[in-house]
Structure 1
């Protein structure tokens, strides 16, 4: 197990020398809140986080004592690698806002890899897909024109608990243009059973026309690519699961009744709406305000708005009461 914990440390540090890791943000304890190396998206258990941090402390103590040039990682700093150092704000659900996804949509791209990861990020938001499933989607599973994605395990898509579903893309033309452009590019080069997140040649950076099988940790490649690109274009980094949260929040702020709320829940393959409500109901005050204002659009009068809002809140309270 120590090897697994060290892998998390290496993934966090990336190319940063160990002598300079105290300057990395997010910190290692904060990074562990969203880090997974097994393709799943749930937060590591409290026990796993504590063991990861204990391993890191031992490792840095050893470096400080035995390897010259590591004075910055003195014991006083190593002792900060504890779960209690996690801030309350970092424990909240991370969400990609609509403004953030628009910024990503309009960010510059220079290479095939840039275009691939930009399209990937926009796709995460439009579909709410988990990254483990995304990196294993074949081209035949994606229908941008009709706004559908087939998450079929029998096609090799690695869904959570082997669930099978057809996912609807959010109808946002400005975002769909980006994924359609990548879809056109990759379909012109590859057959339907190749990956939508196409493999690239390490020598040229171009699409690999003879793609090979991929390992079970391909999601880490997508994460690294996204971190590199988002840093290059000067935008803030959020983990891939935050795009799934953004997808759900976009729908929640526009849901007019419990039926639409249920549709959002089913679209992200939740087994029931209680899960969606429990995990994603911490909307910011501005989002709550916008949700209420949305109910007043399209000529709906104040009394109708109040009635719809009360009905929606009543439905949510009933659902919470059943958990």
Structure 2
């Protein structure tokens, strides 16, 4: 049974290169597009893309809606359907302009990959983002052991995340020279740190508690003074695995290299929260925690603007719209407080009316005096 089509492979490679080099998409985005194309080819039994017709788009869309996820065992979500079909739509629209395909593939046929407006609204609906509270994070830190090098590293990892709100990919690539305990900041240099959009910026520690700063300080002191590590060594080194006393592979300490991905960081977070008896919160959720904390703490627009910049947001609206949503429970508390608040509107209106009346009476009195004088 055919598992690929040579012509399709060539044009797919060309399109993926276009996304990577011309559109500057990330590898994860390119991989998602490749997966969507693979799903479509598997459904059409690897027919040549030159035979694409709108009927194939309609049939594939119906088939995809019936498929189940490998992990959940449930039907694919509307968000997955929307993402997959949109990627296929963009591909065939691009294909319709390529030499050898212009007369074979109709640009308008790609529109048949669209979901209904109702399904698109479901797929793109904004949902409340879960985030831990500062108190929950403190509880996690306190329940984490700190005996071995690995355990001390893991505690410091969570401490730095809430102190700076740094993304996990950036944390995995930080070096000791990027942190300044005297100035209470980290310098995320895009030449060495994997920041979003390769931005370079300085993040000062958020005022979330001395316990986090103390844990991080102890860890850095241990690396520099006890292990004699230098500026170019990783702030959070990878775990070294070797052969243990029982001739089995086991953790033997720290490796003087960076993690290649952020996956181990997310695993550390998962284990820490589960062991503390709390639901799992990923590292990125800490940015939501900091935004909500900033909304309570900041007392002026300037303060919140500084808070937003500390999260590497160039526009404060990014902080509000992407991270600053009010949790549903807090929303209910605010509305209840407004309902039970004393109604001062009538008193305020009376004060205003009285002030206007006095002003008019004064004006009329002056005009009457002018009339008598004339």
Class of the TM-score when normalised by the shorter of the 2 chains: 0.5 to 0.7
CA–CA distance in structure 1, aligned partners of residues 289 and 317 of structure 2: 18
Question: 1:185-221: CA deviations, max 9, x gaps?
Answer: 222322111111122321344223xx24653xx2111
**Rg (Cα) greater in structure:** 2
**Count of residue pairs brought into register by the alignment:** 227
Tell which has more relative contact order, 1 or 2 (C-alpha 8 A, sep 6+).
1
**Aligned CA distance change for structure 1 residues 92 and 59 (closer, same or farther; 3 Å):** closer
The answer to whether residue 205 in structure 2 is matched with residue 162 in structure 1 is no
**How far 1:167 moved relative to its partner?**
0.4
The answer to whether residue 153 in structure 2 is matched with residue 116 in structure 1 is yes
Question: 1:115-164: CA deviations, max 9, x gaps?
Answer: 2222211211110111111110100101234311000113x101111111
Question: Which of the numbers 206, 209, 229 marks the counterpart of 2:253?
Answer: 206
Report the counterpart of residue 223 of structure 2 in structure 1: 186
CA–CA distance in structure 2, aligned partners of residues 113 and 38 of structure 1: 30
Q: TM-score w.r.t. structure 1 length? A: 0.60
CA–CA distance in structure 2, aligned partners of residues 185 and 100 of structure 1: 26
Report the counterpart of residue 273 of structure 1 in structure 2: 316
The answer to whether residue 132 in structure 2 is matched with residue 99 in structure 1 is no
Question: Which of the numbers 77, 80, 92 marks the counterpart of 1:82?
Answer: 77
**How far 1:112 moved relative to its partner?**
2.5
Report the counterpart of residue 176 of structure 1 in structure 2: 213
Q: TM-score w.r.t. structure 2 length? A: 0.53
Provide structure 2 residue ranges, at least 5 long, that are not aligned to the other structure.
1-25, 40-63, 81-121, 243-250, 338-374
**Aligned CA distance change for structure 1 residues 136 and 202 (closer, same or farther; 3 Å):** same
Question: 1:274-304: CA deviations, max 9, x gaps?
Answer: 11111123223548979xx9xxxxxxxxxxx
Report the counterpart of residue 5 of structure 2 in structure 1: none
The answer to whether residue 234 in structure 2 is matched with residue 195 in structure 1 is yes
Question: Which of the numbers 277, 301, 314 marks the counterpart of 1:258?
Answer: 301
**Aligned CA distance change for structure 1 residues 283 and 187 (closer, same or farther; 3 Å):** farther
- For the 8 Å contact 1:105–1:178, the answer to whether it is kept is no
Report the counterpart of residue 185 of structure 2 in structure 1: 148
**Aligned CA distance change for structure 1 residues 289 and 152 (closer, same or farther; 3 Å):** farther
Provide structure 1 residue ranges, at least 5 long, that are not aligned to the other structure.
1-36, 61-72, 294-323
CA–CA distance in structure 1, aligned partners of residues 294 and 332 of structure 2: 13
Deviates more, 1:116-125 or 1:264-273: 116-125
Report the counterpart of residue 359 of structure 2 in structure 1: none
CA–CA distance in structure 2, aligned partners of residues 280 and 202 of structure 1: 38
CA–CA distance in structure 2, aligned partners of residues 269 and 278 of structure 1: 15
Deviates more, 1:77-86 or 1:245-254: 77-86
**How far 1:243 moved relative to its partner?**
0.9
CA–CA distance in structure 2, aligned partners of residues 160 and 112 of structure 1: 29
RMSD (Å) for aligned C-alpha atoms: 3.6
**Aligned CA distance change for structure 1 residues 78 and 116 (closer, same or farther; 3 Å):** same
**Aligned CA distance change for structure 1 residues 221 and 149 (closer, same or farther; 3 Å):** same
Report the counterpart of residue 273 of structure 2 in structure 1: 230
